[in-house]
Amino acid sequence: MHSARAVYAVRMSPGLIAEAKQRQLSGLKRGAESPSPDVSGDGEPEPTAVRLARLVSVSASLMGQALSLAKNYPAHWAKVVSGELTVGHADDLAHGRDPASRNATQATHRV
C-alpha cells in the first residue's frame, strides 16, 4: 500500500515542482532580487520529498527513496511501479543490500 502511494506521489512530483518554481518566479516578477524559497506553513523551506510524503501519508524517508529510485535507478523503479517490488526492497537492490535481510513482515508484503 505504501509503495502504491509513493508511485502516485512520484507521478505528481513534476507538477508540484513546477508549481513551486512558478511561485518562486512570481516573486521575481514583482521586483524581488532573488527567488523566494518554497516554504511550509511554519516558514521553513520544505523539501519536495517531505511535501509529497505528507500529501500521500507516507514517511519522508520512503518518499525520498522513491524519488531517488525514479531518478537514478529506472529499472528498479519500473519493478516498483509494476508491483514486483516494494520501494524498500528496490532501494536495497539498487544499493547492493540484501532485501532478504528485512524482517519477515516486510519481506512478504507487496503492493
Return d(Cα 9, Cα 58) in angstroms, integer: 10
Q: Is 61 within 8 Å of 68 (Cβ atoms)?
A: no
Q: What percent of the chain has pLDDT over 90?
A: 32
Q: Is 39 helix (H, G, I), strand (E, B) or coil?
A: strand
Q: Is 25 within 8 Å of 85 (Cβ atoms)?
A: no
Return d(Cα 62, Cα 87) in angstroms, integer: 7
Return d(Cα 80, Cα 86) in angstroms, integer: 6
* pTM exceeding the 0.75 threshold for the entire prediction: no
Residue whose entry in the numeric block shows the C-alpha cell 514486483: 84
Q: Is 9 within 8 Å of 56 (Cβ atoms)?
A: yes
- pLDDT, one tens digit per residue, over 5-14 is 888 888 888 8
Where are the chain's structural domains?
2-108
Nearest-CA neighbor of 1 among 89, 76, 83, 101?
Answer: 83
- pLDDT, one tens digit per residue, over 50-87 is 888 888 899 999 999 999 999 999 999 999 999 999 99
